[in-house]
Structure 1
Amino acid sequence: MDAGDSLQAFAAKWRAAWPEQTVLDLFVPPAQRLSAAAWASLLFELHSAAFTLEHEAVRDGKTGWWAEELQRLQGGAPRHPLTQALADVDAPFAAMAVPMLSVVRDVPLLAGDTTSLFARLRPFAEAVSACEAAVFASRAHATDADSLIAEWLVLRLPDGLAAFDRGMLPLHLRARYAAFADNAPPPALRRDWLAELEAAVPRTAAGNWFREAQRRFLRRRIRALAADAGPRPGPGHVWDAWRAVRSR
């Protein structure tokens, strides 16, 4: 498998988690298709390594490898197909490594409420946001980090609520539904969590077309989850993708 095939294999994993992205692909400027797919797939791999692996040794090993790879990417010697596809981008990739590892040391995260949880994740999200702005030749908006955090949390739903870290669910919701414990999460808990996440998604436009598309898609994903519906692309996603790309 050559580098191009490997990149597409990783992109397929990302698109399987976010089927809405197939709509966005139709509107991506041709010159940015490769970097957009590589960046989105890289974010998905970092999220998976940092937040979805239960066993500490495996989690530390994978995130440690990625931290080194981010440093190698900025140093001009990437090894992975995704980072190789971003090798020509002048971005502070290495700056993502330390905040990522700092967050990983605290997994599973136990935050008192949603505000505290966002604060714990914000240094990592801000580092990612700065890189994303460089990838898409834009300036990061202050709200882009919150958009990223909300995306990371929504990516854990619905199955993450039954995982080892309860999908990073804040303690105030765990206390409200104390009977949840090791049982299946009640519908009311998921509804309340989705309401808090929807409120946390920035209302203002993002700093680049890619993040703006994700922000719009995220709001639709939350509403779909609240209605117990799957993430199926629809006309609304076409509108969101067109508006996001056109506005930037």
Structure 2
Amino acid sequence: MSDAAHEPAGPARDEALDSFLDKWRARWPEWAVAQAFVPPQQRDIAIAWAALQQELTDAAWGGSDARPGEAKLAWWMEELQGWSRGLRRHPLGITLQKHAAPWTSLGAAIPSLRDSRERPRDRDDAFAALAPFAQAVVQIEAALFDAGAADAAIVQAGLLQARLAHTGEASVPMSVIARMGEGSTRAWAAELLDHWPHGDASRPRRVWNALARQRLRRGDASLPLPPWAALWTTWRGARG
């Protein structure tokens, strides 16, 4: 019998957890390349954290009826309060809850994310609506990735790109629609690029934002980058 037969089995994967991670990977297949520029000890945390943000933003912005998403966000507020007390129900908590981070603050910011579903008046309104939630995200990332405090505007920009990718024209501010009519989605992408904030952030955030910006440059916020473009983009983003 080979030595391999006596080797202990690796840790069992949680299928429920994997389903949420896979849902995020499906939207961001570039991660298969991009994760190389994130420290190995941060990769599992980073993808679980990204998947949690996707769950929250999908609930806030998705669907034609806001009520199911509002109910899901209310559930998440309770769940995140539980994480701060050492409790968890959601599979993403398997990876995230054990880390000392201000989960209660994130939960307290969820109502502002819920309210951001309303179409913004203009770019300033779009950024302002996400400010409380983005500030909570910055605090979480400082704890998870041992990073200094980042400018919340960096997170806001990434969230706005994600919303454009997920909901398309529904995310475009009224001022852009009034100015452009047809073609407003591309115009909003260009405006986001022109006013993209710069500053320090955690390594995962720099990688995610680099991918988000490059998708906007290529003209489709929801279209993944080819592997070679993802490699070059994330290498530059990771360097800051």
Query: Would the TM-score normalized by the shorter structure come out above 0.5?
Result: yes
Identical aligned residues as a percent? 34
Which residue is 2:201 aligned to?
207
Matched, 1:110 2:119: yes
Q: Select 1:86's aligned residue among 77, 89, 96.
A: 96
Shift of 1:202: 1.9
Shift of 1:107: 5.0
The equivalences for 1:31-46 within 5 A come to 31-46=41-56
Shift of 1:243: 4.6
The equivalences for 1:3-82 within 5 A come to 4-82=14-92
In structure 2, the gaps of 5 or more residues are 1-11
SS at match of 1:11: helix
Confirm or deny: 8 A CA contact 2:142 2:148 kept in the other structure. Answer: yes
Which residue is 2:231 aligned to?
238
Confirm or deny: 8 A CA contact 2:38 2:203 kept in the other structure. Answer: no
Shift of 1:209: 0.5
Q: Distance in 2 between matches of 1:103 and 1:158?
A: 17
Matched, 1:147 2:154: yes
Closer/same/farther in 2, CA of residues 63 and 210 from structure 1, 3 Å limit: same
In structure 1, the gaps of 5 or more residues are 181-185
Q: Select 1:221's aligned residue among 209, 215, 219.
A: 215
Which residue is 2:174 aligned to?
171
Shift of 1:161: 3.2
SS at match of 2:218: helix
Confirm or deny: 8 A CA contact 2:57 2:113 kept in the other structure. Answer: no
TM-score, length basis structure 1: 0.82
TM-score, length basis structure 2: 0.85
Shift of 1:115: 0.9
Write out per-residue CA displacement over residues 14-56 of structure 1, whole angstroms, 9 at most, x where no aligned residue. 1111122121223433322221121111111111111113323
Shift of 1:116: 1.7
Which residue is 1:128 aligned to?
137
Which of these two proteins has the greater Rg computed from alpha carbons? 2
Closer/same/farther in 2, CA of residues 48 and 41 from structure 1, 3 Å limit: same
Q: Distance in 2 between matches of 1:161 and 1:216?
A: 20
Q: Distance in 2 between matches of 1:3 and 1:66?
A: 23
Confirm or deny: 8 A CA contact 2:116 2:129 kept in the other structure. Answer: no
What RMSD over aligned residues (CA atoms) do the two structures have, in Å?
A: 2.3
SS at match of 1:75: coil
SS at match of 2:225: coil
